[in-house]
Structure 1
Amino acid sequence: MAEVRWIAAVLAGALAVLLPPVTASPSPEASVVRTQDGAVRGSVRDGYRVFEGIPYAAPPVGALRWAAPRPAASWPGVRDATRPAPACAQPAGEVPGGSTSEDCLYLNVTAPSDAAPGHPRPVIVWLHGGGFTTGAGSSYDAHRMAVRGDVVVVTFNYRLGALGYLGRAGLAGSGTFGLADQQAALRYVRRGIGAFGGDARNVTLAGESAGSYAVCAQLASPSAAGLFQRAIMESGPCTGGPARPFAPYAVAPTVAEAAGTELAGAVGCARAADVLGCLRRVPVARLLAAQGADAQPEYGTALLPRDPAGAVTSGRVARVPVLIGANHDEGTIWAAGIVAAGTAVTPANWPDVVREFVPDPARAAEVVAAYPVRGTDGGPVFGAVIGDADYACPTLRTGSLLAARRTVWRYEFADPDPPRPTPAPPPFPLGATHTTELPYLFDLGGWPRDMTERQRRLADTMIGYWTRFARTGDPNGGGAPHWARSQVQSLAPERTGPVRPGGVHHCALWATMP
């Protein structure tokens, strides 16, 4: 579908891997660190060090395709860690030309120049987004966060798409291989981050979109207990489901296994005597061509016994402090894709559009009344419906559920004119749409975004909030505007402070929808 292609282009552009990530040539002052598996030589930059492409697990190839991650092999001598490893297999998008690599379980460490084992820094482990089908740890240049926040930042790849979330009856790890990779990376951090000057006893797990939902899954996973002490969730609430298809969610075994059976049929393995053996011999490119546009983790498994939505509702998740939020205009990016594909939203067709979107069509009139379309361009209104139903209100609900049993800090990113997520102009202004908070924390693809002085100050404020939370569990301090636990903190240039977003996003309406 044309709108799907446009949305994919926008989301990929938001991470700006229009050119390969910036990589430095080996520095004359290259830094060598001895890890538990061998020595690595990283790059020394202005005030920080970067170590890229460090294996945290064995390559999941051959018989290890769709197997739990195994320990990485050690190596002799000094391993070059001055350039990123290949991204995990994925279609073209964020990664130019895509990737067909299964040998992809590598991580990257960014640390202040003076970080050393004797004076360990807090650690932030970042889970990239991308619908569980795209993305790479190397897309997130974390040097501003590391230097300004005085923390060690770890980014990494994990298995994606069918290779990360294949569901199949009787397959150990069914539907959770990507989540298992994340736990393997966290175990590597616990064992070895001290060599880079990180504090293994002070780890914050953070992520955006699918990465945020993965944080929630790890909060609900018994096997992740003790692997991190705090959590940051950006634009990926825990309470998603198939009725809210623009946000990530998990699926039951029957759904995951049905998708796995469909994949086996699509690649010619359905009637093989050994279906799994046949699937393990299928070329990666063929698997990518046959898989769906998004992937979902499977619950009802050993790693993820409960649907994260149910686990959060019942309080059966790890009791760690949480910083959670969403963007003010999350849904405009999807509405823009639909409009760009040729479907104008007008007062005449708006009721029909809503009836297709709302799970209970009988409630469509309530949505039309709450979100009236009066002009010829109703795209932004449709974006508000998508954003409120799938992100803003579920995020507020997730935050409230978590706050019943743990410390929670809630925010809404609300810069009305952030750096545009793609060079191609959208059909209408997107505002603070999905992914637009990321350039305030990272140099995406290695490139800083053009920002006004006010936006640069907001970026510094956000990095301060995020890293102070990672250090102590409280984002306050450093001269930043006070952030009250009892309120949602609006993050906008010159307007950072408490806000009441529930009414703005019509959350009372969406709370009664299935």
Structure 2
Amino acid sequence: MTGYYLRASACMTIVVIMLRCAACITVQTPVGPISGLAETLTVDGRQYRMSTFRSIPFAESTAGENRFKKPIPKAPFLSTFDATKIPMACFPSSANFKVYGGYINFTEDCLTLNVYVPHRFEKNVSLPVMIWIYGGAFVQGAASDYPGDGISAFGNVIVVTVNYRLGMFGFIQSADGRLPGNQGLWDQHLGIKWVHDNIQAFTGNPNDVTIFGESAGGASVVFQSLYPGNQGYFQRVIAQSGSALAGWSVHPSPNANPFISKKGCERAPNYVECLRFLTPRQLQDDEFSFWKPVVDRDFLKASPHEIVFGNDSQTHNARNFFASLDLIVGANNFDGALNLFALSSTLNVTDINTFNLTRAQFTGIIIPHTISDAIKPKNDNIAAIMRNLLDFEYTDWQHPNDSATLWFSTINMSSDSGFFFPAVSTVKGHAALRKGKTYLYELSAVPTTHILPTPNWIQGSNHADDIQFVFGYPLYAGPQSTVNYTEEERRLARGMVTMWTNFAKSGDPNKPSDARRFTNAPWAEYDLNSQSFLQFTNQGALPGSRFEARRMQLWLDLIPTIALMETPQPHGTGTVHVPEIIIGK
């Protein structure tokens, strides 16, 4: 009886919160019975019958002896698991980080997933599955910040959102191997494997799975695509505003020592046990630039660039697996605005909307910051060449001192180095392998509501603005009211949801549903000759080719060539000789 009342109480609590719970529904799975919620959801004016299952554990708790280790698969349930509870989040790296959904409860027993099914099991179907991996710079975020019921209902697919460990909990690695690193990537892998093993019970097709993610989640899905241990677990990948080929997504070396010292464990007889003795709150730290995937020779046999573009026998299986997948990669036209507020701190700016950026600040602070962050030249002479090169390319020489153009040049440089160049590099590498289909996109719509704080002079899509359209927020009363959106935005959401779920169903965003009703244009495959891409705007979709061709040539070819040069010899006093070079058109 106690168990019955606990389950009933959980359902009643959800009814109060959701206001649309009709009943609880139980599914028999290979790991035991799981009880979720049967609901009715209105999307784009149409009612859908939905089944939702929250906080299903796919791994044992990562607390205690399991902290910093690879995840351990969850043992089968001894009784019906109550999947109606409000999900909890994995601890972020810093206590100052908040989960976007407002959750205040964090736990080390956080390796859970949520399943959204677009019916109430009255159908005998086998639906495509889409697994979402969230972003947050590998240091914050939670699966439940991304309700999947809108895209699930409108696109008629099963959506799964997966938690993974963050910050030092998920990405600490020591040189001696006692802290192996990439724990968060192993979490994602185990969640994907759980879906493969169990999704058939939810009427999902385990052989028709797409993984998709944004920002660090976009990088994560590419990382998963480079791990051949995922063979057979998914067939398609969508990377939004992030790639494993981005410099910000990989830490070049073991990252544990500074943290171990900071926490006072460097002199302990067993530093790992010392770290395990600390509470999660004691482990949290405001330094978060270290916490990201590492080349561990286990999950990642080599750097993502070496896997995609190399021919080493050690990376052969990883490269073949990546090549076999269908792939969509894209970015938002103002993705680089994400870095404006970090730069404003460096520049000591109080209001970025009114601050006048000077040419001296652009050349003396912003360009060197970009070089050290994205290029990491091997010596000062190469750095000097890079400063001249970026100044030449990104300065509007008709208005070299104009603050507005300098701000836009700053965003372009940030977008190129962090998002555009990694996206184009990824699709070029994939298309060159000539196996799976390849697609490239840009979102340039001007949203009514930005997801992240955005200067009022930006007329386009900031980082993360794609999420609201991909998840169909303008079409239903999800994270915010539909009245805040325009009809143009609702049309854009219909088009993007249709194309994303079309891709999950067929590997082709143009079919089976006719997305041109909303986008006005088909989406052509990317190949090395046409280099086609699709631009999503408020007015529909516009076909294009050779995305930002000149700037991409700079980052794809010219900058790497100069970075690998031998040290140039100075000529004269304080000057560096720059060899004659031709910037790609």
TM-score by length of 1: 0.88
Shift of residue 298 of structure 1?
A: 1.4
CA spacing shift, 1:427–1:419, aligned 2, 3 Å: closer
- Distance, in Å, in 2 between the alignment partners of 1:393 and 1:297 is 19
Give 1:266's aligned amino acid. K
Tell me what 2:407 maps to. 379
Give 2:217's aligned amino acid. G
Deviations 1:97-119 (A, max 9, x none): 76541110110000101557831
Give 1:236's aligned amino acid. G
Partner secondary structure for residue 507 of structure 1: helix
In the alignment, is residue 328 of structure 1 matched against residue 330 of structure 2? no
Deviations 1:27-51 (A, max 9, x none): 3422211222222221222221111
Determine which of 349, 358, 367 is the counterpart of 1:346: 358
Tell me what 1:94 maps to. 99
Determine which of 257, 260, 264 is the counterpart of 1:261: 257
Partner secondary structure for residue 404 of structure 1: helix
Shift of residue 346 of structure 1?
A: 2.0
Equivalent pairs: percent with the same residue?
Answer: 27
- Distance, in Å, in 1 between the alignment partners of 2:177 and 2:192 is 24
Give 1:401's aligned amino acid. G
Tell me what 2:554 maps to. 509
Determine which of 283, 286, 292 is the counterpart of 1:287: 283
Determine which of 411, 415, 431 is the counterpart of 1:403: 431
Give 1:363's aligned amino acid. M
Determine which of 304, 313, 320 is the counterpart of 2:300: 304
Determine which of 481, 486, 508 is the counterpart of 1:474: 508
Contact 1:140 1:443 in 2 (8 A): no
Determine which of 393, 416, 433 is the counterpart of 1:370: 393
Tell me what 2:169 maps to. 163
Partner secondary structure for residue 160 of structure 2: strand
- Distance, in Å, in 2 between the alignment partners of 1:428 and 1:361 is 32
Shift of residue 68 of structure 1?
A: 1.7
Tell me what 2:189 maps to. 183
Partner secondary structure for residue 267 of structure 2: coil
Shift of residue 397 of structure 1?
A: 1.7
Shift of residue 87 of structure 1?
A: 0.3
Shift of residue 234 of structure 1?
A: 0.6
Shift of residue 329 of structure 1?
A: 1.2
In the alignment, is residue 194 of structure 1 matched against residue 200 of structure 2? yes
Shift of residue 309 of structure 1?
A: 2.0
Partner secondary structure for residue 289 of structure 1: coil
Determine which of 519, 532, 535 is the counterpart of 1:490: 535
- Distance, in Å, in 2 between the alignment partners of 1:99 and 1:162 is 18
Partner secondary structure for residue 357 of structure 2: coil
Looking at CA atoms only, which structure, 1 or 2, has the larger radius of gyration? 2
TM-score by length of 2: 0.77
Contact 1:126 1:206 in 2 (8 A): yes
Unaligned segments of structure 1, at least 5 residues: 1-19, 242-247
Give 1:455's aligned amino acid. E
Unaligned segments of structure 2, at least 5 residues: 1-13, 41-47, 312-318, 350-354, 376-382, 527-531, 561-585
Contact 2:23 2:39 in 1 (8 A): no
Deviations 1:263-303 (A, max 9, x none): 11111111111111111111111211265245211113312
Deviations 1:233-255 (A, max 9, x none): 111123222xxxxxx32234xx2
- Distance, in Å, in 2 between the alignment partners of 1:40 and 1:58 is 17
Give 1:55's aligned amino acid. P
Query: Structure 2 matches for 1:95-134, cutoff 5 A?
Result: 95=100, 96=102, 100-114=106-120, 118-134=124-140
- Distance, in Å, in 2 between the alignment partners of 1:415 and 1:447 is 18
Shift of residue 440 of structure 1?
A: 0.5
Q: Which has the higher helix share?
A: 2
What is the aligned residue count? 483
Query: Structure 2 matches for 1:426-441, cutoff 5 A?
Result: 426=455, 428-429=457-458, 431-441=460-470
Determine which of 52, 55, 59 is the counterpart of 1:53: 55
Tell me what 1:7 maps to. none
Give 1:298's aligned amino acid. V
Tell me what 2:36 maps to. 42
Q: Give the stretch that moved more between structures: 149-158 or 390-399.
A: 390-399
Partner secondary structure for residue 207 of structure 1: strand
TM-align CA RMSD: 2.4
Deviations 1:132-171 (A, max 9, x none): 1111100111112111111000001101110101102344
Determine which of 80, 83, 92 is the counterpart of 1:81: 83
Deviations 1:338-391 (A, max 9, x none): 237417522343221323323433232332233225323332321111001221
